[in-house]
Every structure is written in C-alpha cells, then in structure tokens.
Structure 1
Amino acid sequence: MLDLVTLRIAFGLVALSVLVLVYGVTFRTTRSAYSGWWCVSIGCFILSATLFLFDGTALQVVGNPAGNMMGVLGAGCVWASARSLRAVPVPRWQLAAVPAVVAVASALGDPTVDSWSGGAAFLTGMALLIGRSTLELVLLLRQTDVGVDSPAQNRFALVAMAVVSSLLGAYYLARATAFVTVGPQHPVFQNAFGGQVTTLLTMILLVVATFGMSALAADQQIAELRRRATRDSLTGLLNRAEFYREGQVILDRGRFGTDAALVLADLDRFKDINDDAGHAAGDDALTAFADACREVIGPRGIVGRLGGDEFVILTVHGTAEDLTATIAHRYAEADGTPTVSFGIASVLPGDDVALGLARADHALYRAKAAGRAQAIRHDDRPAFLVGGRRTA
C-alpha cells in the first residue's frame, strides 16, 4: 500500500480537481446553496489534509489541532449542504460548536509529540456530523415524490448521496469505537482504520458523492425559480396565477366540508397610507396583513395576493366568519394598520375559482359601500363583527 504522505497528497490533488470543477461548472452556473456549502466542505478537507502533512515535524503542534478542526468543519459543511436541500436554515452555532470542541480537545492533549491528540473527539465529531447529513438526506427522500418534486434521475442521485453518507458515517463511528477500545497503535486499528485506509476510502467516496452534485444543485435552482414564479415577491404569498391554479385543484378534488369559502380582503383606505406615510409604510401594512393571514389560515386553506392591497383566501376547514375575524384581530395588533373589509362566497366541490371570486368581489363591494371594516357574504347572510368592530 502507498505510504500515508503520498495518499494524502493524492487526496489533496483529487479534492482540488473536484473543487475546481464543482465551483467552476456547478456553483457559478446554479448559485445554489447546496453547491456552495459543498465547495466550502471540499476546501476544508483539502486544508485538513494539508495540515496533517506536518505530522512528525515541529509544526505538528499547530497542524494537528487545526487539521482536526478543519476536517470536522468540512463534515459540518456536508451536513449544511444536505440541510439546504430541504430549504431548512442552518444553525451557525451548531456548525461551529463541534469543530471548536474538537480543536480544544486536540490542543489540550499533547499535539507536540502525539499525532492522535484529540483523536476521540475528532472521530466522534466526524461520525456525528456525517450521521446528521444522512438523516437530512433520508428526510428529504421521504418528502420527495418522483415525477412531482424531482425527476427520477435526481432521486437516484439523492439515494446515492444518502448511501455514501451513511457508509462514511458508519465507518467513522466504527473508527471512533476502535480508537477508544483498542487504541490507534493496535494492529486491528492500523489495518482497518489507519490513515492509509481512511484516506483512500474518503477519496473514493468523495468522487462518488460528487457525481450527483450537478443534478441536485440544478434541482435546487429549479425549485427556487419555481418559488419565484409562483410567489408574490413582497409578501411571499401565492401570486394571482398560482392561487387560481392551486385553488382550482382543491375545488376539483372536493375534499372539504360545507364551510369552504373564497374570501376577498381589501385594506381600507390603503392609498392614504402611501400618500401620508410613504410606500415603505404601505409595504409594512401589506406584509403585516400577509403574516396575519398566514398565521391564522395555516393548513386550513391557501392565501394569495391578487395585487395592490387585495388578498384572496380559500378556506377548507373552519368557518370563514371565524377565520376572518381572527385575521382582522391579529392584524389590528400591528401599529398603524388600516381596517380591512372582506367579501365571502361559499364554494362547493367542482366550483370555478374565477366565478367564486366574482361573487366574493360583489360581497366585498357591498362591505365597502356599507362603511368598510366589515365582512359580508354573497349569499346575504347577516354581517358580523370584524376585529371588535360591529357592522352596520
């Protein structure tokens, strides 16, 4: 077998080649968070391998703790890249905590003469973070439907990444166990988990794992473009076209009760806010109302912004009267917000969204004409209280 120094140099050259390709071809094309984190992780692994080359020299006292820290940080970035595929924020303190603990443990040992100083912490940290990467990939696989959320070939790449991650995590867990039980000088550890075996295995797994990079990064970019195409840029709610599409799908499926309704909401005298306080204040009022809708409706329906100060809601669980009253109350808690008028139209399975909104618009017009700050149904049900204000 090749000596450890030669293998580490070879690993560094392979990793550097992969980094150049991933950055130049994938990251610069997609700008995806996934490929960005992956580039950082490869850079950390290259730096770690370089620092370990100082083992057996006077610089080992610095190279050993720093190499351990950078290796674990690279594993943390692998976890962050997997987490980004689920569009879940990465807790930066968690990303920094494990490498910091490993660096302290390595420095408190005897890195001057012991090249395995802090080895238990290093190997445990690697197993922990790579294991968390596997968990993120498994969670993503469970929530991804082939042909709906991702093409079949992208799912294959995702499965390959999960398998590679699980194998590497299991290897580091076994390596940490052997380190603690028999020690790094034992023949079992040297033959099965020594530096040569680990470097060679990591090199192979790096190449295998990277093959799915382009597909997954492109998939992430497509998902982001889809989000931008279907969401209102200011509020994050569904835009007009997407609300019509999703709303019609819900109505066609007909999986809701008799309380389902389409609701049009309009902020009263919104123009006065823009004229008197400026457009920034108007944007604040719009986002505050969107937040109130999102918080109250939740899984009980969908919410969109039609444009300007006009919003639309499709409720499938819970009465529209109760939901709109709660929305108005939550919205009134924000400072300087205007009152809101609502128009409600009942819907049945198979109804047309456009026709339902036309009825809701007629009811909204009546609510405005009756003095605003109230809600009226198209079917002439009595008006009701909205946010503590009694209708006329």
Structure 2
Amino acid sequence: MVLDTTTLRIAFALMALLLGLLFYFFVYRTTHAPYSGWWCVALALFLTGALAFLLDGTPLQRWANPMGHVLLVSGAVSVWSSARTLRRSPPEPLMFVAAPAATLVACALDSPATNTWAGGPVFLASMALMFGLATREMWPAGPAYTRVRIPMTASVGLVSVFYTGRLIAFLTDGPGGPTFELFFGSAITTMFTMVLLVVVSFSMAGLISEQQTRALHMVATRDDLTGLLNRKAFLDLAAAVLKDPAATQGTGALILADLDHFKSVNDTHGHAAGDLALQAFAGACRDTVRSADLVGRYGGEEFVLLIPGASAGRAESIAGEVSRRLAQVPTVDGLEMPTVSYGVALYDAGTSDVEDFIAAADRALYVAKSRGRNRTVHSDRIV
C-alpha cells in the first residue's frame, strides 16, 4: 500500500492542533508549568510547518517550503526548551534563533522554488541535534526520573535517531534514492513522528499529574517557614525507621534542639528576625546531616533530628556542627543568631515507641537548659 503523503500531513496537522488545544486548555492554563507551555508552542510550530508543506508543487513553494523547514526546526528547539525546564534550566535564546536561521539560509540558497529538499542536510542535522539535546536534558534526571518519563525520553530519543538516519541516507543515497524513500521518505517520517508525538504528549500529561501529586504531598508534609518535615510527617517517618531495624542496624540517635532565648530575638528585633533565625537553623541542619537522616520542626523554636546508625559521640558532633554553622550565618542590624541547647537519646533494636524516645531526649534537653543552655546533654548521662 502506498502511503498518501498529503493525507498524512493533514492528519498530522489535525493531530497537532488537537493535542495543542488539549494541552493549552486542560494542562497549561491550569498548571502554568513551563514545560507544558513550551510543548504547546512546539505543537503549534509542527502544525504550521506541516501545513506549509501542503503548498509544495505550487507557485508558493518558493517561500512555503523553506518556511515549513524553519517551523519544524523551531518546533524541535521548543521541545528542547521544554526538556530544559524539566531540570529548571532556562531556554537558550541564541539556539532558538541560530538553528532556524541556519536552516532558512541553507534553504534559500538551494533553489527552493524547484527543489522541495532545499537545504535538506542542514534541516535534517538541525532536527537530529535539537531532539538529541532534548533527550540529553531529560535523561540525567536523578530521583525525579520516574517510569512516567521513560517513554517520553525514549520517544524523543527515537526521533533524534530517526533524523540522524535520514541525514545519513540523504547524504549517501540522495532524497530520491530507494533506501531513503523506503525508510525515511516524507510519508514514513510523518507517520512515525505522529505516533511518537502522541506518546510524548500523553507521557507529559502523566508527568504533570505526577508532579502535582508530589507537590501536594510536599505541602502536606513540610513546614511552611523552614521547609523541613512538619511534626506529623517526622513522627510518621521516624516510626517507620524504628520498625525497620535492618535498614540502620537497629541503632541510632535522636536529637531534640531548642533555640536559646528565642523570645528575646522576637521581642528585640521583631518576628521577621525570629523567622530568619529559624530558617538559618533549618539550613544549618540540612547542610550537616545526610540525605538518609530525618530533620523536622517539632514546634515553635524546637527541632528534632533522627540520625540512624549514630553513636552518642556522633550525635554530639552533629549538634556541635549545626551550632557552628548557625553562628556563621551573616546578620544585620545587630542581630546575633541564638545559641542552641540539645537533648540526645539513643535507640536500639528494642526501641519502638517514638513518643517515649522523644520524651527521653526532651528530659535531656531540659537538663541542658537548666545547666546554662548552649550545650548538649545525653539522656543516659543525666545525674
């Protein structure tokens, strides 16, 4: 069966139009996610590019054909820009101009009025490069690289590989050669790209839903001011750690911290200064502990840290390092960061109740404050 290129291009344009409208009204307008916005731009450019090629073979081919190539390259650049925003990297304005401009010049110098493949090598190389760069941006995504992103990344990568193959076949076989027509002709390319764009679009919609769910979870488990775990989230996660001794050899330490004379900071410098002190302490904790450790705001100026596998000496060292980092935070208008008192309790494989564990650290914290503050006291050493 011979594929009708014109019909496929019309179908591709209609598909791009439908996907673009769906993304704009049901995704971008509700989330304002940058990558969904760039994807809407890419679909609009692919739509207009496909329509421009419908004028091939008419007197308008002179300008419509180069414009189609430029629009498709611009769409590929938009895909790359969308991929960059997934990693919170800004788009590259220079590349957005450079690749389409190079394509336009190459097409204009290659008899576009009679040659439907005017500037073909530059066009194909630009498409392969842009989709390749987009794949590179999507690939090293770390913990955020979930199963939702796998088909999206694979599809964009396949487009890059396909255009690379088109470029090689174009240079070795020519646009009219049997190999090029059989595997990389316009009809095959339109159908192939159509299928992969649908896969990418649905994958991106799934990614947006996943990220919204993650954002809602973050709001529910994080303290608004410090960004640390809130009290409930900390208690739930700490209970899970205590129930899984195999993950940490069943031992560890809990540190309960309280900022000394915090009320005087608010009374003397205002609540904004107090908020700054709380945020500075939270930052000092994040800079000190490991990713496997738990840090939460227990309430007011009290914080709690769970350090799996830590000994009494290690816990005291962590407390000292947090205080050292806090003291180094630059301040203004005479504000000095408060000192901190710490109560430490150790746990073993027999410890199961988080509240009792915290109560032991709280008793040690009370002793630290009664002994003059700005010190660390261990619950097993209270006399």
Give the TM-score normalised by structure 2. Answer: 0.81
Q: Residues 97 and 121 (structure 1 numbering): CA distance in 2 closer, same or farther, change over 3 Å?
A: farther
2:46–2:75 Cα contact (<8 Å) kept: yes
Does residue 302 (structure 1) correspond to residue 294 (structure 2)? The answer is yes
1:386 is matched with which residue? none
Residue 92 of structure 1 aligns with an amino acid whose one-letter code is P
Offset at residue 235 of structure 1 (A): 1.7
Q: Give per-residue Cα distances to partners, 1:75-128, cap 9 Å, x unaligned.
A: 3145347xx3xxxx33225x5565444234324535253532522431331441
Cα distance in 1, alignment partners of residues 278 and 12 from structure 2: 54
Conserved? CA contact 2:125–2:163, under 8 Å: no
Unaligned ranges ≥5, structure 2: 113-117, 332-336
Q: Tell me whether 1:59 sits opposite 2:63 in the alignment.
A: yes
Residues 201-260 of structure 1 deviation map (CA, whole Å, 9 limit, x = unaligned): 212332344344544432221111111111112222111111001111111112335861
Q: What residue is the counterpart of 1:131 in the other structure?
A: 135
Per mean C-alpha deviation after superposition, the further-off stretch among 55-64 and 193-202 is 55-64
Please give the per-residue CA displacement for 1:167-206, whole angstroms capped at 9, x wherever unaligned.
Answer: 3333223123223433445443244223332122212332
TM-score under structure 1 length normalisation: 0.79
User: Which residue number in structure 1 is paired with residue 24 of structure 2?
Assistant: 23
Shift of 1:332: 1.0
2:106 is aligned to: 109
Q: Contact 2:341/2:365 (CA < 8 Å) preserved in 1?
A: yes
Q: 1:303 to 1:54 in 2, by over 3 A?
A: farther
Q: Secondary structure at the match of 1:298?
A: coil
Counterpart residue type for residue 132 of structure 1: R
> What do residues 280-306 of structure 1 show as CA deviations (whole Å, max 9, x unaligned)?
222222222111111110235111112
Hey, what does 2:334 align to over in structure 1? none
Task: Provide, for residues 1-40 of structure 1, a one-character-per-residue CA deviation record: whole Å limited to 9, x for no partner.
Answer: 5665554343222211112123323444555566445334
What SS does structure 2 have at the residue aligned with 1:59? helix
Q: Which residue of 1 is the match for residue 347 of structure 2?
A: 347
Distance 1:18 1:300, change over 3 A: closer
Aligned-residue Cα RMSD (Å) equals: 3.2
Structure 1: runs of 5+ lacking an equivalent: 145-154, 383-392
Structure 2 residue corresponding to 1:175, chosen from 166, 172, 176: 166
Q: What's the CA shift string for 1:126-163, capped at 9, x where partnerless?
A: 441353367368x679x65xxxxxxxxxx5x6555455
Query: What's the secondary structure of 1:263's corresponding residue?
Result: strand
Q: Is the 8 A contact 2:125 2:164 kept in 1?
A: no
Give secondary structure in 2 for the equivalent of 1:109.
Answer: helix
Contact 1:126 / 1:172 at 8 angstroms: preserved in 2?
A: no
Aligned-partner SS, 1:262: strand
What is the Cα deviation at residue 360 of structure 1?
Answer: 1.2
Q: CA distance change for structure 1 residues 198 and 74 in 2, over 3 Å: closer, same or farther?
A: farther
Q: Which amino acid aligns with 1:301?
A: D
The 8 Å contact of residues 135 and 153 in structure 2, kept in 1 or not, is answered as no
Q: List aligned pairs for 1:1-392, cutoff 5 A.
A: 4=5, 7-29=8-30, 35-50=36-51, 57-59=61-63, 63=67, 66-77=70-81, 79-80=83-84, 84=86, 89-93=87-91, 95-96=92-93, 98-112=95-109, 113-114=111-112, 115-116=118-119, 118-132=122-136, 135=139, 144=146, 155=147, 160-161=151-152, 163-254=154-245, 255-256=247-248, 260-318=252-310, 319-336=314-331, 337-349=337-349, 350-380=351-381
Q: Secondary structure at the match of 1:235?
A: coil
Q: Contact 1:30–1:218 (CA<8 Å) still a contact in 2?
A: no
Distance in 2 (alpha carbons) for counterparts of 1:380 and 1:37:
60
- Do the aligned partners of 1:266 and 1:309 also contact (CA within 8 Å) in 2? yes
Contact 1:75 1:129 in 2 (8 A): no
Deviates more, 1:304-313 or 1:36-45: 36-45
SS across alignment from 1:13: helix
Aligned residue identity for 2:89:
P
The amino acid of 1:8's aligned partner reads R
The sequence identity of aligned pairs, in percent, is: 37
Distance of aligned partners of 1:276 and 1:190 in 2 relative to their CA distance in 1, 3 Å threshold:
farther
Cα distance, 1:326 vs. partner?
0.9
Contact 1:68/1:106 (<8 A) preserved: no
Residues 161 and 120 of structure 1: CA distance in aligned 2, closer, same or farther (over 3 Å): closer
Larger radius of gyration: 2
- Contact 1:345–1:379 at 8 Å: present in 2 too? yes
Q: Which amino acid aligns with 1:241?
A: K
